Structure 1
Amino acid sequence: MISSKLLLPLALLLASFTAADKPAYRLFTGAGRPVRYAKMLKELVKADVVLFGEQHNDAMAHWLELQVARDLAQLRQGQLVLGLEMFERDVQPLVEQYNVGELDEKEFEAQSRPWPNYPTDYKPLLQLARQQKLRVVGTNVPRRFASLVAKGSLTALDTLTANEKAWLAPLPITVDFDLPGYQNMRKMFGSDAAHASAVQNIIQAQALKDATMAYFIRQSRQPGQLLLHFNGSYHSDNHDGIVWYLRQAEPQLRIMTISTVSQEQLKELDKENRQKADYVLVVPEDMTKTY
């Protein structure tokens, strides 16, 4: 039995819990202003390309991706295409066969090299695409080629066959090492002379991914369509990476970006997370992870 001396403090504590909001996420503009989902959607629907930058193991980001895809499909009425970093260009025929029902789930998962978190995080998107008859494109470079570059620079791609080069952005690929994302990679991996060449190769491998995703986003989108692309936030944060390559090739594209970040508090956007994207999805640091 609870002592009467504890009843008042307990009541006050319960009242504070009742009054306090426990949001699962918050949305902000890049400048840090709170924004409602409906307002964000109203802007996204006007774009040619939307890059939804996720943290790959964040459950809330994957849930919101599905909501955005479903709502944009309804608003764009057959003019929405889904693009995913998570599928590489050499398995695109399998993606297409699965998308139109020519390949069953078991065979698709056995052959397409899906990421380990595919069943919980990306399968719902592909199922939505089948239901809504939305085209799906895998945009990423085959990882074995990115590995080649990480070990031997972009010149290692010269040894590929013509058929293999068709799975990449057209060569040669220009790399702007001054982009914020690439500069940050140099800081993360170290910039001393002993490691300079190795770090340079790693950045080139990242650029190969960015350039290839940008190229196939453009190739997969017809005039009047909106391509909603899902990628790790780092590939589109700061409006560089994929965005830089898109703008180099097609400056008039209307591009909108979303970045996913974790914060201890959700009342305001932390300073270091501002201007990462047009919209920033903030989730609690203790949000459930999918792996």
Structure 2
Amino acid sequence: MKKYAFLFLVVLFFMAFQTDKPAYQIFDKEGKKSSYKAILEKAQEVDIVLFGESHNNPIVHWLQIELTKNLYKNLSENQSESKSKNKSKNNLLLGAEMFEADNQTILDEYLNDIITEKNFEAEARLWNNYKTDYKPLVEFAKGNNLVFVATNIPRRYASLVSKKGLASLDSLSEDAKRFMMPLPVEVDLKLPAYANMLKMMGVHSTDDGKVNESFANFAYAQAVKDATMAYRINEYYKREAKNIENTNSVFLHFNGSYHSDNYESIVYYLKKYNPSLKIMTITAADQKELDSLEKTGVADFAIVTPLSMTKTY
């Protein structure tokens, strides 16, 4: 009788497991199942974390704020145990694609209580999903005196490149050039990140690597975003890390997954600006099933959510 009771409990267990509805599964780059704990531990060992997201995925946005909180806590504890002489500085830096470089002053003024929330939200050209998806990150930075970097090139300049090419940036004023990567910027359209973008548009290069100018400009516009984000991440990381002695600084950056997938784009330019940087990448993906990772090698960690997951917009 006991034997049958045990078998009955086993059947119930597996039935319950099969009807469970997991919200996400984390994998490492080889496709092995991993964990949030592994992401947090690895993040503390690197200089830069590029958290690639699906912009409208609520699970990914939740994990972003959780990683921010936990990384801040752990780095703060490590800092307090160190012999740092300047403990007024926190060694976690935040930054995001969703904020453009020419809005850095407005962002800083809000973080430092110089302007009101109303003024900030009215003037900073915020994304439509700011209040649900990015405001928690900004408010955490504000509440804990963290640096938050607006890393993206102003959209008007990316648009200019898309219409008139890279050379159009040369005509800008020196003041305008402060909000982008140093010129001239090199863009290799044979890099998979840009070649695949053109391929998706049905564009193929000729034998000598040339691409129709109008299509090439579209890829160039993507590249100047990547290069600007990389440049500003590196510049702020170098500057802030110098203010903290004997501690490890981490720059946690939020961007669309396509800006860091396959260790390209932002990663490529970061390595050009500073080859010694230790960089960790995270990607986000939707799949029908969560049992295995469909595309391996895309990032150090992949956060996979069901295709049926509700979106923030």
Q: TM (normalized to structure 2)?
A: 0.85
| 1:130 CA displacement | 1.2
- Of the structure 1 ranges 251-260 and 16-25, higher mean CA displacement relative to structure 2 is found in 16-25
1:218 to 231, 234, 248: 234
In the alignment, is residue 168 of structure 1 matched against residue 166 of structure 2?
no
Conserved 8 A contact 1:80-1:227: yes
The count of residues paired between Structure 1 and Structure 2 equals 277
- Counterpart residue type for residue 139 of structure 1: T
Conserved 8 A contact 2:101-2:150: yes
In the alignment, is residue 129 of structure 1 matched against residue 129 of structure 2?
no
The one-character-per-residue Cα deviations of 1:144-173 (angstroms, maximum 9, x if unpaired) are 000000011100111100000000100000
Partners of 2:261 and 2:225 lie apart in 1 by 14
Partners of 1:193 and 1:244 lie apart in 2 by 21
Conserved 8 A contact 1:190-1:199: no
Aligned-pair identity (%): 44
The one-character-per-residue Cα deviations of 1:42-68 (angstroms, maximum 9, x if unpaired) are 111111000000011111110110011
Equivalent runs, 1:1-291 vs 2, <5 Å: 18-20=16-18, 21-77=20-76, 78-191=90-203, 196-221=212-237, 222-223=240-241, 224-270=248-294, 273-291=295-313
Matching residue of 2:245: none
- Of the structure 1 ranges 21-30 and 232-241, higher mean CA displacement relative to structure 2 is found in 21-30
Partners of 1:76 and 1:199 lie apart in 2 by 44
Conserved 8 A contact 1:235-1:241: yes
- 1:136 aligned counterpart, secondary structure: strand
- 1:206 aligned counterpart, secondary structure: helix
Partners of 2:234 and 2:33 lie apart in 1 by 31
| 1:283 CA displacement | 0.7
- 2:30 aligned counterpart, secondary structure: coil
The one-character-per-residue Cα deviations of 1:222-257 (angstroms, maximum 9, x if unpaired) are 334210000000000000000000001111100000
- Counterpart residue type for residue 149 of structure 1: V
Partners of 1:266 and 1:62 lie apart in 2 by 19
| 1:19 CA displacement | 2.5
Unaligned runs of 5+ in 2: 1-10, 77-89, 242-247
| 1:197 CA displacement | 1.6
| 1:196 CA displacement | 2.1
| 1:190 CA displacement | 1.9
Conserved 8 A contact 1:81-1:136: yes
Matching residue of 1:8: none
Conserved 8 A contact 1:58-1:288: yes
Root-mean-square deviation (Å)? 1.7
Partners of 2:113 and 2:15 lie apart in 1 by 49
Partners of 1:191 and 1:219 lie apart in 2 by 35
- 2:252 aligned counterpart, secondary structure: strand
| 1:17 CA displacement | 5.4
Partners of 1:124 and 1:263 lie apart in 2 by 27
Matching residue of 1:10: none
- 2:95 aligned counterpart, secondary structure: strand
The one-character-per-residue Cα deviations of 1:63-96 (angstroms, maximum 9, x if unpaired) are 1100111111111112100001001011100110
- Counterpart residue type for residue 200 of structure 1: A
Partners of 1:193 and 1:245 lie apart in 2 by 23
Partners of 1:36 and 1:183 lie apart in 2 by 33
